[in-house]
Amino acid sequence: MLKTHNQFLIFAVALVVSLMITGVFIPGLLSNSGQNGPALSTNSILDNMKFSSIRTLQNNELLSQNPSNSVDVNNLNFVEPAPMGIADYGIGNNNVTYSYNTSSFLGIINITSLQTHNSSLNCSNQMGFQLNVNLAFCDGTTEYVYWVQNVISLNTTSSNQLISFIDNIWNMSSSSAGMHKSSISGNGIVANSSGTSFYYSCANSSCPGNSKIITYPTYIKLKVDSITTSNNQPEVKFLYNDGQGWITYDNVIFKFVTQLSNNLGFVVDGHQYEPDGYSFYNAALIMGGPGDGSQTKDVSSNVHLQLEFWNGHNFQQIISAYNFGSDTAEGIQNVVSTAEACNSNGTLFASVTSGSGSLKQIYNQSDVSIVNITTGINSGIIKINGTSYSFINSCINLTISTGKYNYQIYNENGILTASGNFTALPGFNKIIPSTLTFKVKFMETSLLLGTEWFVNLSGGQTYSSLNSTISFNLPNGTFYYTISTANKIFVSNITSGSFTVKGISLQIAVSFSEVMYNVKFTETGLPSSTIWFVNISSESPSGEITASTYSISLTNGTYYYAISTLDKTYEVSSTSSLSFNVNGASLTVKVTFSEVKYPVTFSETGLSSGAAWYVNITGGPSSGPITASSYAFSLINGTYYYTIATSDKIFEVSSISTSSFSFNVNGASSAVTVTFSEVTYSVTFSENGLPYGTIWYVNITGQPSSGAINAGSSFTVSLPNGTYSYSLGTTDKSYSSNTAEFKISGNSEPETAAFTEVYTLTFSETGLPSGVPWYINLSNKMQSGQITTSSYSFSLINGTYNYSISTSDKIYSTLSTFGSFTESSGSPGSISISFSPNKYSVTFEESGLPSGSTWFVNLTNGVSSGAITGSSYSFSLVNGSYDFSISIPNGYSASPQKGTINVNGANSSNSIDFSKVNSSNSSGGTSNLVNYEITGGVAAIFAIVGTAVYFIKKK
């Protein structure tokens, strides 16, 4: 179900009664007049409606601005196909507007027979019933309005009458508003239609009464409820009842609302459009196509539709009804929708049958009775001619046809509390004691058959008729009246007056005459004497017009017209509203012609993204900078010349789709394709240094290879501006060339491809264990990479080179870590590299010996320090693990006297502490060096010492 209009600014409505209206019954509705039973007062009885021609701002009410007193219900639909059924636009008798809000709408569908068809649909017999309403609420000071749809999808094929239920919600709060899945919760999803997001949900197939085959006759109800959740957020409930009881198939909560300040529920307002200027605050129960703006045709039907709203006491029929809706795109044709009433109880409904119909108001509050009965009890049931109506809050409001009725009122316990009879008159009524009335008959002449005319009494009653008489009953008294017609094309000889009822019937004659007004069409833009035409609907064509003006006399009404000319090079430049209203005064309609223009689209390829380009039409418009890939002009017929340019001069036009820089506009749109390519410059490589007949190559980064080139020949390539790197190659590997780069900046460039003869130089190593990697780096950035063999060769040109040698095994090094050589025509041919293990300094430092004392350090590898008279001694050792022992002078001990040292790629130092031993332990002789190794006996000595210490502590 597609909303056809832009979304809008919300309004809030505060509803009070402001004007009481009564009237007479419309022909075709049931009417039972008589003298028996109490009459009805014309006091206002709906405390949640107001009727006025000029609205007064009420508390919490925000009004959209609309210069008209009421909306034009035919603003969007005036002929079928249209959404046909029953609708409340908030417009009553004489276009008097009213507005109200309610928490619930009820749609009742009674199908005796129905068959529709549209061969263009996937399912040609598919159609839909829609209950469409408008929801309004305020979040803080921000107003929101949503269009709410409760929809039946029905297959009218006699053998497969499948029914299913769907709902839609559209955000109408602004022209660009949409639905967001984060702001709403329900059983459905947020989808997209023509760029507008909306919410929809399909009733689950397991829901009772959904996705089932129905048979005629059938009785179906649709309902929408507006409530406020416990979290103070608006919620809409979607319900249906097709014989399985009421089923709620979706609960939609507007969870983005945090400060709900006014939940108006569903709103009807005939005073104003939605702020988009043409969609309506209405409620409608309509028939149409199955969805997506589709249409269908009523082949045969017998359908009754009822639309009711919750008035705070009971569900009540709408008080004014049109037979078409507006805010939905789906429609149906070949439909006659008229107002009818049930003979037994006065229930009103729209009767839908197939046939040639028209869009119109089928009744208003002047045609039917709006009855208020104060029951005297809080809640219960009232029976009107045997039909039961439930109510709460002590009274009931009913919209029924005029006529005589009996009633019985029952309380909640089913006990009869009151009964009586009343006569329902057109308009708003309360039950009052019966009074004697007499017939008053107005008789008119000169009106066209079927023209509606009105008698309006000073007490608020309004009576209308489509024939030549209007009759009604009144009690004795003096009454003031006015005479009018609905469309103002007739005027009465008596516009107002008074009469007195004195116990007898009376007749009043009225004569009408048609009013005509001058409508003048004035054109501009056509050459002198050019023939043009004005064709007004329902009027004779103008014929050929050669002057700049055309006049016609017309009665009041809305007219649609078409403008044309024999010279098809001209057209009406503005067609926003090819209609006008004659409303009691002459008027002028301005028509502006202009030459027909056709689109000419230039499309480019080849430019880099964002590069600006230009199209300049000689003697005509210029595009200005274009950054998109296409640009369109609107031009009249003719031959045009043009030029193409770009601000980025590295591009040029390489081809166009026309034979020259010109094109013709000849009654149709046209296209020109422009191909750009980068400007290129030649780069020539000239070879130098290769023997004759040698093949060489040029490889430019990002460009195709040159292919084979013979020595002595050159190579040329075309390239756009930029910096390029390249390398040269040759099949003769005894020659080489360095990698280089060149820059193109708006000029051709020469490049020399210089080749130089190369010679082999071999590095050979000794001393490394097999498989130990080593490396060679030359000063020309040549590198050997990892070498695991004992030699490596380079191909070098003559010149002087520096080199460095390294190995990953740091146990080894060479004295030739760095060096240089000069290559001269193959000499030298080799360089020898000798590796040897690295040695590190291991120092022993003593303390405690007298100066000049002699001591020794002995290593397990058989190396000894010899006599040491100083305080330190150093060994030069390769990586490894070594045991050591200390030889000490007589009378001294060393700590440690033996141990193990580890050499691991670094110098190290070891401390030896000497200390004097007691004299009792001394030999008493001269100082002799004691050279021994600490064995297990030392450990035993340490153990004895330890024990001694232990017993000393225990003593």
pLDDT in tens, 240-281: 999 999 999 999 999 999 999 999 999 999 998 876 667 799
Query: pLDDT band for position 914 (50/70/90)?
Result: very high
Give yes or no: residues 704 and 811 share one domain: no
Reported as half-sphere exposure (CB side, CA atoms, 13 A), residue 483 has a value of 22
For residue 693, is it within any domain?
A: yes
CB atoms within 10 A of CB 494: 14
Q: What percent of the chain has pLDDT over 70?
A: 86
Which residues span the domain enclosing 473? 440-508
Q: What is the pLDDT of residue 919?
A: 57
Task: Tell me if 214 sits within 8 A of 155, measured CB to CB.
Answer: no
Q: What is the pLDDT of residue 277?
A: 66
What would the pLDDT profile of 838-851 be if each residue is shown by its tens digit?
A: 888 999 999 999 98
The residue written with tokens 């590796």 in the block is 835
Q: What is the mean pLDDT of residues 607-613?
A: 86
DSSP per-residue letters across 431-457: E------EEEEEEEESPPTT--EEEEE
* Strands 506-514 vs 490-492: parallel, antiparallel or unpaired: antiparallel
Q: Does residue 38 register a pLDDT over 60?
A: no
Q: Which amino acid is at 717?
A: V
Q: What is the pLDDT of residue 220?
A: 98
Distance between CA atoms of residues 750 and 768, nearest Å:
51
Residue 709 belongs to domain with CATH number:
2.60.40.1120
Distance between CA atoms of residues 626 and 620, nearest Å:
17
CB atoms within 10 A of CB 895: 11
> Which 3 state secondary structure label does DSSP give 173?
coil
Cis, bond preceding 217 (omega within 30 deg of 0): yes
What would the pLDDT profile of 44-91 be if each residue is shown by its tens digit?
A: 223 333 332 222 223 333 333 333 478 889 888 889 999 999 999 999
For the chain, what's the residue count? 955
Q: Does residue 324 register a pLDDT over 60?
A: yes
Question: Whose CA is closest to 844, among 813, 819, 875, 812?
Answer: 875
Question: Whose CA is closest to 679, among 722, 723, 720?
Answer: 720
Q: What is the mean pLDDT of residues 171-181?
A: 89
Locate 537 and state its tokens. 């609907």
For residue 245, is it within any domain?
A: yes
Give yes or no: residues 190 and 311 share one domain: yes
Distance between CA atoms of residues 8 and 275, nearest Å:
5
For residue 386, is it within any domain?
A: no
Task: Tell me if 465 sits within 8 A of 70, measured CB to CB.
Answer: no
Give yes or no: residues 604 and 458 share one domain: no
Q: What is the mean pLDDT of residues 598-615?
A: 89
Give yes or no: residues 588 and 609 share one domain: no
> Which 3 state secondary structure label does DSSP give 663?
strand
Question: Which residues are within 8 A (CB) of 683 and not within 5 positions of it... i.e. 6 or more apart?
Answer: 716, 717, 718, 719, 724, 742, 744, 748, 749, 750, 751
Task: Tell me if 416 sits within 8 A of 381, measured CB to CB.
Answer: no
Task: Tell me if 513 sits within 8 A of 446, measured CB to CB.
Answer: yes
User: Of 645, 678, 711, which residue constitutes the final position of a domain?
Assistant: 678
Give yes or no: residues 114 and 262 share one domain: yes
Domain count, the chain: 7
Task: Tell me if 778 sits within 8 A of 801, measured CB to CB.
Answer: yes
Reported as half-sphere exposure (CB side, CA atoms, 13 A), residue 710 has a value of 4
**Least confident piece of the model among 411-415, 683-687, 931-935:** 931-935
Q: What is the pTM of this model?
A: 0.45
Q: What is the mean pLDDT of residues 376-395?
A: 91
User: Of 474, 508, 542, which residue constitutes the final position of a domain?
Assistant: 508
The residue written with tokens 């050997």 in the block is 784
What would the pLDDT profile of 444-461 be if each residue is shown by its tens digit?
A: 998 888 889 999 999 899
Q: Does residue 7 register a pLDDT over 60?
A: no
Q: What is the mean pLDDT of residues 4-27?
A: 28
List, edge to edge, every strand of the sheet that includes 438-445: 469-474, 438-445, 506-514, 490-492
Query: pLDDT band for position 658 (50/70/90)?
Result: low
Reported as half-sphere exposure (CB side, CA atoms, 13 A), residue 701 has a value of 11
Cis, bond preceding 828 (omega within 30 deg of 0): yes
User: Of 632, 661, 678, which residue constitutes the final position of a domain?
Assistant: 678
For residue 814, is it within any domain?
A: yes
Give yes or no: residues 62 and 206 share one domain: yes
Residue 662 belongs to domain with CATH number:
2.60.40
Task: Tell me if 314 sits within 8 A of 396, measured CB to CB.
Answer: yes
What would the pLDDT profile of 392-412 be if each residue is shown by its tens digit?
A: 998 999 999 999 999 988 888
How far is Cα of residue 40 from the mean position of the Cα atoms in its chain?
A: 55
Q: What is the pLDDT of residue 14?
A: 26
Q: What is the pLDDT of residue 169?
A: 97
DSSP per-residue letters across 801-822: EEEEEEES-TTEEETTSEEEEE
Q: What is the mean pLDDT of residues 933-948?
A: 35
DSSP per-residue letters across 736-783: E---EEEEESSS-EEEEEE-EE-EEEEEEEESSPTT--EEEEETTS-B
For residue 410, is it within any domain?
A: no
Q: What is the pLDDT of residue 955?
A: 32
Give yes or no: residues 209 and 327 share one domain: yes
Q: What is the mean pLDDT of residues 98-125?
A: 95
Give yes or no: residues 849 and 937 share one domain: yes
* Strands 749-754 vs 681-688: parallel, antiparallel or unpaired: parallel
For residue 746, is it within any domain?
A: yes
Q: Does residue 932 register a pLDDT over 80?
A: no
Strand ranges (DSSP E) for 3-56?
40-41, 50-52
Distance between CA atoms of residues 186 and 146, nearest Å:
15
Give yes or no: residues 203 and 310 share one domain: yes
Locate 847 and state its tokens. 């303390």
For residue 844, is it within any domain?
A: yes
Give yes or no: residues 843 and 858 share one domain: yes
For residue 424, is it within any domain?
A: no
Q: What is the pLDDT of residue 814?
A: 86
Q: What is the mean pLDDT of residues 127-140?
A: 97
Question: Whose CA is closest to 43, among 406, 370, 408, 393?
Answer: 370
Backbone angles phi, psi at 95, to 5 degrees: 60, 20
Find residue 380's DSSP bridge partners. Answer: 391, 411
Give yes or no: residues 363 and 219 share one domain: yes
Reported as half-sphere exposure (CB side, CA atoms, 13 A), residue 261 has a value of 12
Q: Does residue 15 register a pLDDT over 60?
A: no
